[in-house]
Every structure is written in C-alpha cells, then in structure tokens.
Amino acid sequence: MNAPACATNLTIEDPAGLPANGFAVGKPWQIRVSFTVARRMEHFIAGIGIVSDRGMAVWTVWSKPHDLEPGHYQAVFLNEQVSLCAGSYSIVVGLTSYNRTIHYAEEAATLVLSEISEVSDAVKANGECGFIINPMATQIFKTDKKEHLPAL
C-alpha cells in the first residue's frame, strides 16, 4: 500500500452490526468502513457521503479528528435520527488528514430504503416529498387573530 491510509471494506448493517441489503424508511441503519493506516496519521478524519440515484449529494457525515498509529481500524456511522425517502443511494467514502484527501471512493456501496415505513400515512415516503422526511416539532392552535400572508 503506497497511500498512508486506504479504505478496505464498507458494510451496510442494522444497528446490531448485522449486514443487511435494505431497510424500511424510518428504520435505523449504520455504515461500517474498514480501513488500514500504513503510517502514523495526525488529524485523521473518516467520512461518508450519501448520493441519490439522480447524482445529488444528500448527506455528508464525518468523524472527529483522531491521531492514529499504523494498523487496521473501523469507523461506524450510525443513523437513528434522519429519515431519508425511499430509493437507492450510493455511498462515497473519504479519508483525510488535515483536510487533505488520502483516499476517496465513489459508489463504494448502495443503501436501499423501501417505501414500507413507520412514517405517518399522511406523508408519502417516496421521492415525491424530498430527500429528508423527518417530522418537526409542530403545534397547531386556535387564535383569535386573523393574519394574512404578504402579497406576492
């Protein structure tokens, strides 16, 4: 290995660490990136990108910086909070040191999310509603005041 660090494997898993091919929208999942460090690395960051089947970057996640000695490592990116809409997403892997790219791999794996979901029936869990479909804290309440939107 000529590079100071290199990703060697990527696995998409359930939160228990079991490999899985797909998930229902709203279910948690994780991505495990295995990599090898050939020499001491300072300010090392492992990151992943999630890209839609239309080629649009949807989400980028990265680790905190670490100082690593030579050896074999794994970075696990656990998603329990963000619900992406149904579809196929390609996973990009990047390894950096002091913001300098050491290793970059496009289409390292494919994450598949199905329309079967625990998301409210009021929301379609497919690509018609946008990439991220998380609910927000929302209140609906009656008011005595009639308000108008500004004229367009």
Q: How confident is residue 149, by pLDDT bands cut at 50, 70 and 90? A: low
Q: How confident is residue 142, by pLDDT bands cut at 50, 70 and 90? A: low
Please give the pLDDT value at position 76: 95
Cα 122 from chain centre:
25
Cβ atoms of residues 63 and 6 within 8 Å: no
User: Residues 13-17: what's their mean pLDDT?
Assistant: 94
User: Residues 80-95: what's their mean pLDDT?
Assistant: 92
3-state secondary structure string, the chain?
CCCCEEEEEEEEECCCCCECCEEEECCCEEEEEEEEECCCEEEEEEEEEEEECCCCEEEEEECCCEEECCEEEEEEEEECCCCECCEEEEEEEEEEECCEEEEEEEEEEEEEEEEEECCCCCCCCCHHHCCECCCCCCCCCCCCCCCCCCCC
- The pTM score is 0.82
